[in-house]
Copies of this chain bind each other. A is one copy, B any other.
Amino acid sequence: MDERRFHPIPEPTLRRLPRYHQLLEEWLGEGAEWVSCARFAEAVDVDPTQVRKDLACLGVPGRPRVGYPAGDLRVGIERFLGWNHTNEAFLAGAGHLGTALLNYARFADHGLEIVAAFETDPEKIGRDINGKQVLPLEKLAALARRMHVRIGVITVPAAAAQFVADQMVAGGIRAIWNFAPTALDVPEGIIVQDEDLFSSLAVLSRRLEAGTGIAAKEREAE
């Protein structure tokens, strides 16, 4: 039924597509009509051939000697990533990070709409953050089920994350975007996407030490 197959698309490609999109927005804003692989490659620091492969997924043909039509490419990415429609999500944990995500207007253009927040803190329950109600956590499961919400966002402290995840699963939520630095135990078939800042930090720190230390010498050799 659909030409585009799901599994075969490499995750790295998937991660690069939003970045190409962001560049296209910029370049279209500057009046660009045609864009080349080389231009993407330079901006994103990836091989031009890789860019061609990534763009091939979209089914938007380029023209030799000219490049790719910038507008078509933008639309192609939006369609490919499903940004024309949004998935509704519940968020648990209206702390600083949760509030940041609730206030982030740009999710709406990127396929995600957080429609409500859930909390255990009575101080926060009943409030309104960026037009979204903060409700008691006990109501999450029943409401998720009734509203057919499929995505849950976890921004509670690590110690509470597993309990929240259980509630989400109980409510029929299928995918969890987990910002707590903790390994969630969920039934098979439930998708967990970890956004682990400590992992990123480990990579950053290592690259920093490598850049100033041993690896710096290797670089000189070139």
A: residues with CB less than 8 A from B are: 2, 5-7, 9, 11, 14-19, 22-23, 43-44, 81-82, 87, 95-97, 99-100, 103-104, 106-107, 110-112, 150-151, 158, 174-175, 177, 181-183, 185, 189, 191, 193, 195-215, 218
Contacts and interface: CB of A to CB of B under 8 A. Distances in A.
A193 B183 contact: no
Most chain B beta carbons < 10 A, residue from A17, A181, A197, A214: A197
Contacts of A103: 96
A22 B181 contact: yes
A193 B207 contact: yes
A159 to B, nearest CB: 10
Contacts of A7: 210, 214-215, 218
B183 A211 contact: no
Contact of A174 (B110, B199, B212, B214): B212
A209 B82 contact: yes
A73 B5 CA distance: 42
Q: Interface centre among A2, A95, A202, by most B CB within 10 Å?
A: A202
Contacts of A205: 81-82, 87, 111-112
Contacts of A97: 97, 100
Contacts of A81: 202, 205-206
B175 A22 contact: no
A19 B194 CA distance: 11
A107 B214 contact: no
Contacts of A6: 206, 209-210, 213-215
A197 to B, nearest CB: 8
A14 B206 contact: yes
